[in-house]
Amino acid sequence: MHDQTYLERFANLDLGPEHFDHRGHLFIAWLHLIHYDEDEAVQRVCEGLRGLASKFGAQGKYHQTLTEALVRIMARRMRSGEDFEAFLEANPDLLTDCQSTLSHYYSDERLHSETARAGWVAPDRQSLP
């Protein structure tokens, strides 16, 4: 599917759950980051994933802080002209062990709190890069 079509279908909540395993979440974040500035990408990704979680009856799976933190970490790691596969190759931790990556910034208690699930919570270990 063409990038613009994928973005439009995401914005319209017109993608199926098969698109949203962890790799799918990273892809949609990466796609937004190449088409929008960081803050707008964060807003669009968070709104879209929250909307899709609701549509799929999985509202409890959506986690605001985790989503926003990963998008912001990705933004700082992206290189101009890099495709998604090259990005994953350069950042395998985001695909295979994102919890460990997030643990550099968040304690388990803070990241897995209901407050962090429902809204943005700043890191308590160190600032995001």
Which tens digit of pLDDT belongs to each residue from 66-79? 999 999 999 999 99
Query: What span, in angstroms and rounded, lies between the C-alpha atoms of 59 and 11?
Result: 17
Q: Is the pTM of this model over 0.95?
A: no
Indicate whether 1 pLDDT > 70: no
Distance of alpha carbon 64 from alpha carbon 47, whole angstroms: 9
